[in-house]
Amino acid sequence: MVERRRFGNIFAHVVLCIGVLIVAFPIYLAFVASTQDTATIANGQMSLLPGGHFLETYYKTLFIGSSGTTREPVSVMLFNSFVMAMMIAVGKIAISIISAYAIVYFRFPFRMSIFWLIFITLMLPVEVRIYPTYKIVADLHLLDSYAGLSLPLIASATATLLFRQFFMTVPDELLEASRIDGAGPFRFFWDTLLPLSRTNMAALFVILFILGWNQYLWPLLITTRDDMQTVQTGIRKMIASSDALTEWPVVMATAILAMLPPVFIVVAMQKLFVRGLVETEK
């Protein structure tokens, strides 16, 4: 720091506190609402301090569900979201790391064409080709299935590019050394490259898990059965058109539960998260 200014620091603290307040207030309010009873909130007399209905609301949310339009317990939705996010994250990392390995460590006809075919997918998110993709998934009989939820979202190049980039930085000497030791492509991949990629994989996993968990439009379209909905699509159905019919504490408890896993990951693995974010979006 160049100079120390007492006033400057106080000002910074004030600004940051206001920032934290802006960022945290909606979430605090959601938590408070989830601990109060439905009638109080519906009357517009919500208190700004936590109420005494915490266990009751969360029990109902997790195991019974809102009595509104959807009655699916939120634990089922959380499970679906978890499976989808895991399949997206693990699937993407698995197929990307091996294709990047092929592109970097082998020479074969059409190598660059294949690289470009994969690279171009970087440009278009699933939203712009949503109905044609829907039709294909329907034709493959994958509606209301975990494969249908995750496969189309795996079709993207970010991870491949990242691994390719990383493999380029791995010194050639490592490959020469393991060759002298008699290692083939599998041994080299498994014993040398994979351990070296561990941090990259973890950073990528953190980002992909959050992205997968937070998917909305795609699951909204392809799940029709209540027991296949994710927590993100389920919460929308809990808001009834009439205020009186919406069970706000349950909705808010669902919101809190829906943000818990990704928020936990961001806070607990802050370093990996920041690294993954900066690297995938560069």
Partner 1 sequence: MAPAHDGRGVMQKQTVFQSRLLPYALVAPQLAIVLIFFYWPAAQAVIQSFLLQDAFGLSTSFVWFDNYKDVLGASDYFNTIVRTFVFSFLIAISSLSLALLLAVMADKPLRGSALYRTFLIWPYAVAPPVVGVLWVFMLNPSLGVLAHGLRAMGFDWNPLLDGNQAASLIILAAAWKQISYNFLFFLAGLQAIPSSVIEAAAIDGARPARRFWTIVFPLLSPTIFFLIVINIVYAFFDTFGIIDTITRGGPANSTVTLVYKVYEDGLLGGNLGGSAAQSVILMGIVIALTAIQFRFVERKVNY
What residues from 48 to 107 belong to the interface with partner 1 (CB under 8 A)? 48, 94-96, 98-99, 101-107
What is the nearest approach in angstroms of partner 1 to the Cβ of residue 263? 5
Among 33, 77, 149, 193, interactor with partner 1 by CB under 8 A: 33
Among 65, 73, 152, 276, interactor with partner 1 by CB under 8 A: 152
Considering only the stretches 43-51, 55-63, 69-77, 190-198, report the one whose residues sit in contact with partner 1 under the rule CB under 8 A: 43-51
Is there binding between residue 3 and partner 1 (CB under 8 A)? yes
Applying the rule CB under 8 A, the residues between 216 and 275 that interact with partner 1 are 216-217, 220, 232-233, 235-236, 239, 243, 248, 251-252, 255, 258-259, 262-263, 265-267, 270, 273-274
Could you tell me which of 233, 215, 236, 214 has the C-alpha nearest to residue 225? 233
Considering only the stretches 54-62, 64-72, 128-136, 196-204, report the one whose residues sit in contact with partner 1 under the rule CB under 8 A: 128-136
Task: Kindly list the distances between the CA atom of residue 187 and the CA atoms of 66, 170, 194, 201, in Å, as whole numbers in the listed order.
Answer: 53, 16, 10, 19
How many C-beta atoms lie closer than 10 Å to residue 178's C-beta?
A: 17
Could you tell me which of 46, 8, 20, 19 has the C-alpha nearest to residue 252? 46
CB within 8 A of 217, min separation 6: which ones? 126, 127, 130
Contact assessment for residue 212 and residue 153, using Cβ atoms and an 8 Å cutoff: yes
Is there binding between residue 108 and partner 1 (CB under 8 A)? yes
- Please state, in angstroms and rounded to a whole number, the distance separating the CA atoms of residues 62 and 78: 9
Considering only the stretches 9-17, 51-59, 61-69, 196-204, report the one whose residues sit in contact with partner 1 under the rule CB under 8 A: 9-17
Could you tell me which of 190, 196, 191 has the C-alpha nearest to residue 169? 196
Among 63, 71, 135, 181, interactor with partner 1 by CB under 8 A: 135
